[in-house]
Structures are given as C-alpha cells and as structure tokens.
Amino acid sequence: MLTEEEMKDAVDYYADWVKDKFHLRNNEGSTEVHTPFMDRHNDGIVMYIKKNEDGTLHLTDDGDTLDGLWMCGKEPVTDEEKAAIEVICNSCEIKLENGELSMTINPDQFPWGVTEMASAVLQIGSMR
C-alpha cells in the first residue's frame, strides 16, 4: 500500500506528465489540442477548440473519430451500434451532429471537457 506522501507524489508526477504532453497549436480559427492519450491505432487524440462569442468553448473531434471507423470499414449501420454510440455520447455529454463529436463548455470546464471527449473518442473508436 502506498503512503499518503507516495500517493501525492504519484498524482503530482501524473499531472506533470499530462501537462508536459499536452500541446496547443493555433490552426485556421481554432486551436488544436494534442492530448497525451492514444487511440486504438496508437495515434494521439486531437481535439479542436473555438471560442464562441458568449465566451464558451466549442470542443470538437472534427469528425475524426467516426472517420476512423469508416476507414476501417466499420460503419454503425445496425440499430445496436447506433444505440451504443448514442449511449456513449450521452454518458459523456457529447453531441453527435453530421459525424462530429462536440460539446460546448465554459472555460473553467476545460479539464472535464477534454476528459469526456477523450473518453468518448476512445470508447467509440474501439467499436469493432
């Protein structure tokens, strides 16, 4: 069992690792967020953020998640697959519109939003 100090050190190490591996890049009116989290192809999960006029943030995968399934020859054509994607999106508070996963968050919800989006990307991307 870890001591309280060892647990704190482990959490601090993880937080430092995540911070070091996150990369942001401005790209044609949005900001690319390169996360340290890997999808099933061992590619880093990338998200895009735009700031709305009301100050909220629009976070999206730009359609990459479902495009990745299509490229593998896996379209969610069955009712069960469509339902599974809907459940995943709902559980992560993600909208699915025109093949794009997205959510609108307040700036102080950024850590939560990135975590939920990454979770949805991983869950949907691993459907076979």
b/e per residue 39-53 (b: at least 16 CB within 10 A): beeeeebbbbbeeee
pLDDT, residue 126, reads 84
Residue 11 identity: V
> Model's pTM, two decimal places?
0.85
- Which tens digits make up the pLDDT trace of 69-80? 776 666 656 788
**Is the model more confident about 5 or about 76?**
5
